[in-house]
Structure 1
Amino acid sequence: MVGFLLFPQFAMLSFSSVIEPLRIANRMSGKSLYCWHLMSLDDRALEASNGLPFMPTLAMEDWQELDALILVAGLGTNLIADERLFHWLRKVGRSRRLLGSTSTGSFLLAKAGLLDRKHCTIHWENQASLQEEYPEIIVSNELFEIDQGIMTCSGGTAGLDMMLSLIERQHGSELAKQIAEQCIHPNIRSAHEKQRMSHEARLGVHNSTLIAAIKIMESHIEDPLSCESIAMLVDVSHRQMQRLFKQHFGITPANYYLNFRLEHGDRLLRYTSMPIIDIATATGFSSTSHFSKCYRKFFGISPKERRKT
């Protein structure tokens, strides 16, 4: 029996990706290998992020009927601060049932203290936020992680691959392949495959020097390098690097770098409870006032206003 604990505004794609493989497993095997229940906080109806309503089929107090529990989260999960929920999750964790999450559900497992010193993953957009707020957790870029009875998934269609891996362990590779075929999913991805497209595909850029410079910028957010230093590291002149960024992005390398750091700061504001002064430091700004000034210029609102939205 698998329980899916749904949170308000949960991502439908993430939910479908983890529940549908179980249904198809039953159909392809001709057996009731899996059954499931939907659950919600306070046992109330809720809506997915696309507005579709869902009703729970099992009360949270009846969790002992379950063999596994998967948290299905989405927008706003980082704002949940319900100590009753975290106490309940710790109780489930102590029972040694299989415990998991998809998308931003990793935040909730982290807040409950269930991911300390464990490997976990989360949607790429939230990875840095989770790592900044919970440095004791080993946050990876994997599609999914299974560590000491806790499985975490990056979200989206990666849930399908995580469940196929679980089904393969429990019922063999042949059934997992049959399910993948039914899902028009010809390549079952391993946990180690990347969450994101390559820089070349994502940015529409095929200049190796430019890609190398961008990767250096992305790896030096808290301790930004000068554009002159980056140019030296990729073995071009500063002037040549200026031309490359202008040609492909219409802005200078310095502006590209600044915008990237501000976008990272924006994710920390939206997905963590970190103080703004700590976010300023994590994005390489010398002061909160400097960060706030640059942030307002780029996004049109202040960091404090962003926190209220």
Structure 2
Amino acid sequence: MDVGEEVSAVWPYPRPDSPPLLSPEQAEQTLDVWLLPKFSMLTLFCMLEPLRVANRFGRELFAWRLRSVDGEGVVASNGVCIEVDGRLADAPDDAHLMVVSSYEAEATVMAQDRAVLRRIAAHGGWLGGLDTAPFILARAGVLEGHRVAMHWESVPAFRREFPALRISRRRFSSDATRQTGAGGTTGIDMMLDRIARDYGPALADAVSRQLVHDRHDASSGADGGEGEDGDAIGEVTPSHYANLPRSVVKSLAVMEANLAKALPIPEICRLAGQSQRQLSRLFLAHFGETPKQCYLGMRLDRAQRLLSASHATVTEAALANGFSHLAHFSRAYRARFGEAPRETAARGPG
């Protein structure tokens, strides 16, 4: 049903009063949101605000219900506790359920929670996931046949554990029954995309203007799009690299492309077209680290993501990131994260 033009014609500006929070009985659509401990507050707010603003254009369109495993409040990554409306197990069979997680995505997820996701999928429900939530959906077996978008930091671990699933390089990926995305401000574009699909682009554009947000649809992305088959080509990199000197950007690209087999710093300098002395000066000015320290940190960060979000062993994580000596890897890992790699692995998905 495309009523975007009708809404825009009747309500060229949002009504001055923000409508009260709607109940599922009042709204045309209800979004259930499963919050995991240490979820991102930014991700949650960016997802809900477009729905709230859409309701200001004269119709009771959206309601939402926050859920947790036990129906109790959930503490976000910033330490703020958010009260919820009910338990995950009580979500209806035909639910539109979005999973929101961040750090330690599966530390509290049990088999019965994944069964809820499979139940909703089996009844034709709609499932989505933001930030690290695609790991939860994939382990429940509900992403087969769907492209998957996620935060760029999670791509290596996800690709290793689920090689058969297609990883999108876009900020988010949507189809009729699944929607996944990178988290953070991507939630705004995901919900604007949903509004455009269900109620027309005019309403989505109006909501975007109210949020003072430049809208990005599912066909665009900071990384430059996908291949024709929708598979990821390489890894997604942060868009703020564009503000760095060209030789620094080239160096970072070389480092990211060679995490599994570490290159000598002089070779990185040669490929970047910069002297080692000048490159060190630039890295210290922008990052407070030498190229060698930055490269080591990138490799350790990737190892940490593998250990926390996949079933990789400590040895596998070390070798996958260019560490041939486990003792050196363990010392460097503890210095960066304050714990041994085996401790991180112990908190992994299990």
Q: TM-score range by the shorter chain?
A: 0.7 to 0.9
Distance in 2 separating the partners of 1:6 and 1:211: 36
Aligned-CA RMSD value: 2.5
Partner of 1:211: 249
Asked if the contact 2:157/2:305 (under 8 Å) is kept, the reply is: yes
Match of 2:170 in 1: 142
Q: Which moved more, 1:278-287 or 1:267-276?
A: 267-276
Paired residue secondary structure (1:119) = coil
Check the 8 A contact 1:78/1:273 in 2, yes or no: no
Q: 2:90 aligns with which of 55, 61, 69?
A: 61
* Partners of 1:180 and 1:188 within 8 A in 2: yes
1:197 aligns with 2:249: no
Give the aligned partner of residue 260 of structure 1. Answer: 298
Q: SS at 2:65's partner residue?
A: strand
Shift of 1:233: 3.3
Task: Mark the CA change 1:19 to 1:255 in structure 2 (over 3 Å): closer, same or farther.
Answer: closer
Structure 2 residue ranges without an equivalent (≥5)? 1-29, 224-237
Any idea what SS the aligned residue of 2:259 has? Answer: coil
Q: How does 1:234-249 map to 2 (within 5 A)?
A: 234-235=272-273, 240=275, 242-249=276-283
Whichever residue aligns with residue 293 of structure 1, its letter is R
Count matched residues: 298
Q: TM-score, normalised by structure 1?
A: 0.86
CA contact (8 A) 1:210 1:244 kept: no
1:288 aligns with 2:326: yes
Normalised by the length of structure 2, the TM-score is: 0.76
Does 2:47 match 1:9? no
Question: 1:188 — aligned with what?
Answer: 215
Q: Is the 8 A contact 2:100 2:130 kept in 1?
A: yes
Which residue is equivalent to 1:40? 68
Moved runs in structure 1, 4+ residues, more than 6 A? none
Q: Is the 8 A contact 2:93 2:125 kept in 1?
A: no
Q: In the alignment, what sits opposite 1:73?
A: 101
Task: Determine the structure 2 residue equivalent to 1:279.
Answer: 317
Find the aligned partners of 1:199 and 1:76 in 2 and give their Cα distance.
27
Deviates more, 1:164-173 or 1:39-48: 39-48
- Aligned counterpart for 2:154 among listed residues 106, 121, 126: 126
Equivalent residues of 1:37, 1:58 under 8 A apart:
no
Alpha-carbon distance change, 17 to 256 in structure 1, aligned in 2, over 3 angstroms: closer
> Residue 113 of structure 1: which of 134, 141, 147 is its match?
141
The answer to which structure has the higher helix fraction is 1
Q: Aligned-pair distance for 1:252?
A: 5.1
Report deviation, 1:145: 0.7
Whole-Å separation in 2 of the counterparts to 1:116 and 1:59: 22
Distance 1:117 1:286, change over 3 A: farther
Question: Which one-letter code corresponds to 2:124 in the other structure?
Answer: R
Shift of 1:308: 6.1
- Structure 1: where are the runs of 5+ without partners? none
